[in-house]
Amino acid sequence: MKKIILIIFVLINSACTSTLYVAKTDVPVKDKKCTLQTYWYKTTSPFTDKIDETYNVKLAGFKGVNYKKTDQGIVYIGKKKRDIMVYGDKPTTRKFVCGEFVGVKDIKAFEADQLEVSMNCKAGKNRKAYLPAKKTSYVLQVVEAVKEFFWFGGLPDAPEPPTCR
């Protein structure tokens, strides 16, 4: 009887639902429309919730930028000589906030259908260009793309990389 209870407890504890959220928009790049995209996973089990803390924001044709959850919210932290501030105040420390998920301190509490992402920096010399600096925020539409149940953990497949057309 104890073994059956233990097996049931292990099954319940290992079962989870993972949801893939995708946020994207089209951005004009030269004579094309390119997709700007980010995504994250939220995993819910009977005893805990887990959510990503790093978010890769990628515009097709450019290098992705990792925004991370910090005390300042979800931000892209730049470094002098590696990143150059285009909009905003010049940084006074080695690391500075180049971009943010505007108004989002924790993605767990985020329930809107639009995500605003700012980028105030550009890539420095000898660095591959990333999400172009923009005076106003990029506005991405958020969709709940895939929700799947797993008995022993797992994640839905990541979305296809962004493209231009």
CA-atom Rg of the chain in angstroms: 19
For the chain, the domains span 25-34+49-143
Predicted confidence (pLDDT) per residue in 65-74, tens digit: 999 999 889 9
Instruction: Please say whether the dihedral angle defined by the alpha carbons of residues 102, 67, 134 and 113, taken in this order, is positive or negative.
Output: negative
Predicted confidence (pLDDT) per residue in 72-118, tens digit: 899 999 888 889 999 987 777 767 899 999 999 988 888 889 999 99
Which of the pair, 152 or 62, is modelled with greater confidence? 62
One-letter amino acid of 161: P
Q: What is the structure's pLDDT at 4?
A: 61
Structure-token pair, residue 74: 């979800």
Rounded CA gap, 10 and 81, in Å? Answer: 51
Q: Contact 42/154 with Cβ under 8 angstroms?
A: no
The candidate with the shortest Cα–Cα distance to 38, out of 119, 153, 129, 97, is 119
Q: Contact 113/149 with Cβ under 8 angstroms?
A: no
pLDDT band at 60 (very low <50, low <70, confident <90, very high): very high
Which of the pair, 64 or 45, is modelled with greater confidence? 64
Cβ neighbour number for residue 128 with a 10 Å cutoff: 8
β-bridge pairing 16-29 and 32-44: antiparallel
pTM, whole model, 2 decimals? 0.83
The candidate with the shortest Cα–Cα distance to 40, out of 132, 100, 122, 106, is 106
Q: Residues 18-32: what's their mean pLDDT?
A: 92
| pLDDT of 147 above 90 | no
Structure-token pair, residue 133: 């600096």
Q: Contact 160/23 with Cβ under 8 angstroms?
A: no
